[in-house]
Structure 1
Amino acid sequence: MTTYNEDSIRSLDWKEHIRLRPGMYIGKLGDGSAYDDGIYVLLKEVVDNSIDEFVMGAGRTIDITMNEQKISVRDYGRGIPLGSVVDVVSKINTGGKYDSKAFQKSVGLNGVGTKAVNALSASFTVQSYRDGKTRIAEFSKGELLKNDEKTTTQRNGTAVTFYPDDSIFRNYHYRAEFVENMIWNYVFLNSGLTINFNGQKFISENGLKDLLERNIDAESMRYPIIHLKGDDIEIAITHGQQYGEEYYSFVNGQHTTQGGTHQAAFREALAKTVREFYKKDFDASDIRSSIIGAVAIKVQEPVFESQTKTKLGSQNVGPEGPTVRTFINDFIKKALDDYLHKHGETADALLKRILQSERERKDIAGIKKLANERAKKASLHNRKLRDCKVHYGDKHELAQETTLFITEGDSASGSITKSRNVHTQAVFSLKGKPLNAFGLTKKVVYENEEFNLLQHALNIEDGLDGLRYNNIVVATDADVDGMHIRLLLMTFFLQFFPDLVKAGHVSILQTPLFRVRNKKETIYCYSDEERQRAIQKLGGKPEITRFKGLGEISPEEFGLFIGEDIRLDPVILSKEQKIIQLLEYYMGKNTPDRQKHIVNNLRVEVDIAQESKPVAEELVA
């Protein structure tokens, strides 16, 4: 046993502690392939400060520029007091937000945000412009390198530029889609704010109404969006054609992706008000089935359940205010009831949607009961699922890293199972190709044993509140059959659980196509271009192996591909992609249309090492 004495005790300074335990401050690290990876939390922490300036009435524009690895944020607020520039970004428990008069309803109250960005950046520069003077401070990994003050003609405000440290965020890159979603949320929640991002202007006039219109198909809405605003609260509601419930919830401008007390109160108040309006004791699930809703509230001194602020824990809206539950319930009870009385057509459409959900629920009640009983028995000895120890809903520092790999066949699942991290990585094994679920009702989820076991493994039967894994990763072979299985799984999720995809939980696993090695070094390659570079690097005649399927990769090698260097392609739905049309085109029965597309987009590739160049150019043309 090692000696345990006074020499064993260490005191870390602020930057050492953040760099040693980054997950405590920014959640999971990641490489930028998931919307909640740490590099996006770093950006959010910086932008939050600029948003708080806007909320306080200082500065209506924020400029953000980004490439794959560098971020710059410039606001036109009051600017950090020049004498405090260094302290604000490098001393824990230092900041203006402890003065509740200056920042009544701010997101960041713990004085850690920009310090974490500073400590976790290879290069971090902050510059404050204030009343004709400017101070610029440059850091590297939290260490101060430069601190200068001079005169300026620039407008008041603050500019921050940083490069995340690639020794912590390995192979990272920013995805514009995730950053744009973050920016849209900022402008939806802050009327009058303009954010310029890489030359594109983002602005919203109608708040949460604009948010829902951006995220859902107009054709699928059962009635026009109900948009209600009050003091420190705003809601938007409609019902669509999809299954499940979909919510966007915010506190003081923070997107609470895991909900919290305000989202629970919103769901409860909605069901209660609708029952009272129609004077019928509807089942709450029928009222909320297919709902798409958004709620944003402002509270004083919010309490979140983690540093990343993804779930609200506050019970009250302020030190002397009502509970969050009472505040939201009182607003919805009056505002929604008034709206439905004034808009009879919307009230009729809402009633029809509820009655339809009620019929569908009763139609599958019998088979659902039997299926759940089978799933409960199977869960005791479920050969399809090799579970992990930590789950997404747990209050555990590794909860964000929880992952379920969905694999095809026993050989692939066996390799992943042997090499996975048993604490955070689970495996669900498919038996062959799943059913094409396009156009089918939710009844098939219970009739098909594999689908039923999968939804129980994820725990998403009644929505995402109980989701057991943050990341659902489709791990199939990179061949025709593997691609087909990917499509079938995506069809299943988009047909019955689209909110799982929209919330950014679903990804595709990249696995290497080639292994190039000599006696000294092994390089795994994910494309032919990488293979060529590896051959040039190793020189001579290295051994080249082409992996045809996941089952060919040994467990020892697989461990390299699903650890900290994991490569994931997130499944992202853009505003332009309509789910119904997307599924109908790829998974429907319009075979001639797909054939026409394939023929028109055929590409002929020729090995120019064996063919003459003119012939190759002619064929490719």
Structure 2
Amino acid sequence: MENNERKYTAKDIQVLTGLEPVRKRPGMYIGSTGLRGLHQLIYEVVDNSIDEALAGACDTILVTINEDNSVIVEDNGGGIPVETHPQTGKSTVETVLTILHAGGKFNNSAYKVSGGLHGVGVSVVNALSEYLEARIKRNNKIYRQKFSRGIPTTELEVIGECEGTGTTIIFKPDKEIFEDINFDFNTLEFRLREVSFLNKGVKITLNDKRNQKEVKFHYEGGLKSFVEYINEKKTPIHDNIIYFEDKKESTIVELAMQYTEGYSENIFTFANNINTQEGGSHLVGFKTAITRVVNDYARKYGYIKEKENNLTGEDVREGLTAVLSVKLMNPQFEGQTKTKLGNSETRSIVDSVVSEHLERFLEENPKEGKVIIEKSLRASRAREAARKARELTRKKSILDNTTLPGKLADCQESDLNVTEIFIVEGDSAGGSAKQGRDRKYQAILPLRGKIMNVEKSRLDKILGYEEIKAMITAFGCGIGNEFNMEKLRYGKVIIMTDADVDGAHIRTLLLTFFFRYMRPLIDFGHVYIAQPPLYKVSKGKTDHYAYSDIELSNIMNEIGRDKNYPIQRYKGLGEMNPEQLWDTTMNPDTRIILKASIEDAEEADKIFTTLMGDKVKPRYDFIQRNAKNVKNLDI
């Protein structure tokens, strides 16, 4: 029998040299070739400038977006060295820009701490750019070298004389790599503001020549200014922000924190300027320290009696806004998105530093100590009430012989890859949705009216609200600190409300609830917003659906404006029959749904506080600022 098995030989092995691997698989280096990866290019260049600032060599960074989406990042740091590199025989500039893992970040001699992609950043930017030009001020001269898609197109040359030092990187993202090269100003603004907070004293300017926008960031207060910014729309319970910066061994720990009248905890952690959204050892050290210190203080001064239980970490952190930043020599990142700090020694370092400074603050500020303890004690009583409410709910479920809410029309499948639950406004739309759905993998949960505003309520009150209890039971994954993603029953949670003011309000209430008490649902991409059509145009027996005024105009142009075709403006989902609802809003092949995501958690927190919090003026100001952007106004 003839053996047709293909022989596997050395010539079958593909060897990618230089920056070829980056262009072959860019997602491995910048996460994606979508907008997130596109913006990462700028962050990587800025991170190099920040590394100069951390080394004490730079205090000014200018980022410019040109009309053609090319970018200029300029700093007044020491400038990339221009001498011939002993290992490569090329200039150090060319070495850093064309070889992965080349840079001053690996032996800790040039940079004690650094952010970015740890040495691969600027070479990756070069590889993924249509062109890149480096200009270096050093030795009283201006040096320049040009590249295209990672390959040098000129030698390093002297083009002039100058005073001072610095590096300018000019690049244009490659359209062969990226789906879209249009940078988003707001995304860049959020990140550069964050970077400025984390590096006090550094001046960062973002200049967008596409629309003549410019913002400048300069915060001498560092993390203290960061907490002031986050709490701008909240009501603090003590005026003094608790702030300190200390160094232990080779790790710098910086913390700012302030308690507010709210009920949610907002703790943001960073390691070497990288947002550690999944937490890690530094967060564990902080939580351990603050729980122990507050309990010790409360017992010492008689707030907690001898036979009473300690406050839990959850009690101690209610209403807390905190920003923790650590800077260390060799950070190890773990987790699904590589944003969890794994260095085990950092836990004890942060624990020790936070304990020492927080103990001192409470002893020296008894007035603040008292309001913090009283806030925690109220949280403890509410937590106990919430526990009893949960137990009552569980017992009631057992007595009723059911674990799922009666109004839920469940689906047959259990595979998270296909299952989805629609949260529908009202019984009328719920009836249409139940009839129109594919019951194999689509579940329907109708809500009666608007759910409560969780921004203004503690968990014990929230758990007493029937519509919220129905969602918690249907999703199956718990709430708050008891949330368990592994128990989630649906891969997609789809908010489906009317396209009017009330529908928008319900959508905001639901998103606030998910953000505050089921945050991982949003973080891991399980929450979606359905987009029902705004108009139906009937041409004979054919219906055309428009999801915006522009789309309506296009349809009318296509089928003929001079004909008097009937146009129906939908106000509610209940106006559609089951077939129409399926065709337009529920059918995965034809529907439009938007994934809810949080690129900037601090900004999201501010927006939810503004829209749903107690203060009226910030909400009024927000409406005034954004009124011109409103679409589909329902009047």
TM interval, short-chain normalised: 0.7 to 0.9
Residue of structure 1 in register with 2:169 after alignment: 160
Contact 1:15 1:119 in 2 (8 A): yes
Aligned amino acid, residue 584 of structure 2: I
Q: Aligned residue pairs: how many?
A: 560
Residue of structure 2 in register with 1:359 after alignment: 381
Aligned amino acid, residue 182 of structure 1: R
The equivalences for 1:398-409 within 5 A come to 409=430
Aligned amino acid, residue 322 of structure 2: G
The one of 269, 275, 279 equivalent to 1:249 is: 269
Residue of structure 2 in register with 1:201 after alignment: 216
Alpha-carbon distance in structure 2 between the residues aligned to 1:413 and 1:9: 55
The one of 282, 305, 312 equivalent to 1:283 is: 312
Residue of structure 2 in register with 1:182 after alignment: 191
Residue of structure 2 in register with 1:63 after alignment: 62
Contact 2:263 2:457 in 1 (8 A): no
Contact 1:242 1:495 in 2 (8 A): no
- Matching of residue 84 in structure 1 with residue 92 in structure 2: yes
The one of 134, 151, 161 equivalent to 2:159 is: 151
Alpha-carbon distance in structure 2 between the residues aligned to 1:464 and 1:124: 49
How far off its partner does 1:176 sit? Answer: 2.8
Q: Deviations over 1:321-361 (max 9, x none)?
A: xx212211211221111111110110011111011101111
Deviation larger for 61-70 or 354-363:
61-70
Residue of structure 2 in register with 1:343 after alignment: 365
Residue of structure 1 in register with 2:211 after alignment: none
Residue of structure 1 in register with 2:8 after alignment: 5
How far off its partner does 1:575 sit? Answer: 9.2
Q: Are residues 551 and 4 of structure 1, via their aligned partners in 2, closer, same or farther at CA, if it must alter by over 3 Å?
A: farther
Residue of structure 1 in register with 2:30 after alignment: 26
Contact 1:98 1:109 in 2 (8 A): no
The one of 95, 120, 137 equivalent to 2:128 is: 120
CA RMSD of aligned residues (A): 5.0
- Matching of residue 215 in structure 1 with residue 244 in structure 2: no
Alpha-carbon distance in structure 2 between the residues aligned to 1:493 and 1:530: 31
Q: Deviations over 1:191-228 (max 9, x none)?
A: 22111122332111111111111011465111132112
Alpha-carbon distance in structure 2 between the residues aligned to 1:14 and 1:388: 43
Q: Are residues 264 and 539 of structure 1, via their aligned partners in 2, closer, same or farther at CA, if it must alter by over 3 Å?
A: farther
Alpha-carbon distance in structure 2 between the residues aligned to 1:577 and 1:152: 48
Alpha-carbon distance in structure 1 between the residues aligned to 2:132 and 2:533: 34
How far off its partner does 1:405 sit? Answer: 7.8
- Matching of residue 258 in structure 1 with residue 275 in structure 2: no
- Matching of residue 488 in structure 1 with residue 470 in structure 2: no
The equivalences for 1:223-238 within 5 A come to 223=238, 224-231=240-247, 232-238=252-258
Q: Are residues 94 and 372 of structure 1, via their aligned partners in 2, closer, same or farther at CA, if it must alter by over 3 Å?
A: farther
TM-score, scaled relative to structure 2: 0.72
Alpha-carbon distance in structure 2 between the residues aligned to 1:467 and 1:263: 20
- Any idea what SS the aligned residue of 1:553 has? helix
Alpha-carbon distance in structure 2 between the residues aligned to 1:186 and 1:571: 12
Alpha-carbon distance in structure 2 between the residues aligned to 1:553 and 1:176: 32
Deviation larger for 338-347 or 457-466:
457-466
Residue of structure 2 in register with 1:294 after alignment: 323
Alpha-carbon distance in structure 1 between the residues aligned to 2:154 and 2:433: 52
Deviation larger for 185-194 or 122-131:
122-131
The equivalences for 1:310-329 within 5 A come to 310-315=339-344, 323-329=345-351
Aligned amino acid, residue 239 of structure 1: Y
How far off its partner does 1:256 sit? Answer: 1.4
Residue of structure 1 in register with 2:259 after alignment: 239
Alpha-carbon distance in structure 1 between the residues aligned to 2:445 and 2:169: 48
Deviation larger for 99-108 or 547-556:
547-556
Q: Are residues 335 and 162 of structure 1, via their aligned partners in 2, closer, same or farther at CA, if it must alter by over 3 Å?
A: same
Contact 1:302 1:314 in 2 (8 A): yes
Contact 1:245 1:292 in 2 (8 A): yes
How far off its partner does 1:267 sit? Answer: 0.8
Largest Rg, 1 or 2: 2
Contact 1:97 1:109 in 2 (8 A): no
Q: Are residues 578 and 259 of structure 1, via their aligned partners in 2, closer, same or farther at CA, if it must alter by over 3 Å?
A: closer
Deviation larger for 362-371 or 455-464:
455-464
- Any idea what SS the aligned residue of 2:63 has? strand
How far off its partner does 1:505 sit? Answer: 9.8
Alpha-carbon distance in structure 1 between the residues aligned to 2:7 and 2:335: 32
Residue of structure 2 in register with 1:614 after alignment: none
How far off its partner does 1:415 sit? Answer: 9.2
TM-score, scaled relative to structure 1: 0.74
Q: Are residues 379 and 111 of structure 1, via their aligned partners in 2, closer, same or farther at CA, if it must alter by over 3 Å?
A: farther
The equivalences for 1:533-572 within 5 A come to 551-553=582-584, 558=589, 561=592
- Matching of residue 442 in structure 1 with residue 450 in structure 2: no
The one of 139, 143, 148 equivalent to 1:139 is: 148
Contact 2:233 2:610 in 1 (8 A): no
Q: Are residues 574 and 115 of structure 1, via their aligned partners in 2, closer, same or farther at CA, if it must alter by over 3 Å?
A: same
Residue of structure 2 in register with 1:431 after alignment: 446
Aligned amino acid, residue 582 of structure 2: G
Identity, in percent, stands at: 28
Q: Are residues 21 and 562 of structure 1, via their aligned partners in 2, closer, same or farther at CA, if it must alter by over 3 Å?
A: farther
Aligned amino acid, residue 385 of structure 2: D
Contact 1:67 1:174 in 2 (8 A): no
Contact 1:513 1:526 in 2 (8 A): yes
Alpha-carbon distance in structure 1 between the residues aligned to 2:219 and 2:524: 21
Q: Deviations over 1:389-434 (max 9, x none)?
A: 58xxxxxxxxxxx9998666587799998999xxxxxx87541455
Q: Are residues 479 and 137 of structure 1, via their aligned partners in 2, closer, same or farther at CA, if it must alter by over 3 Å?
A: same
Q: Deviations over 1:135-167 (max 9, x none)?
A: 232323x45445552322454222223343455
Contact 1:265 1:324 in 2 (8 A): yes
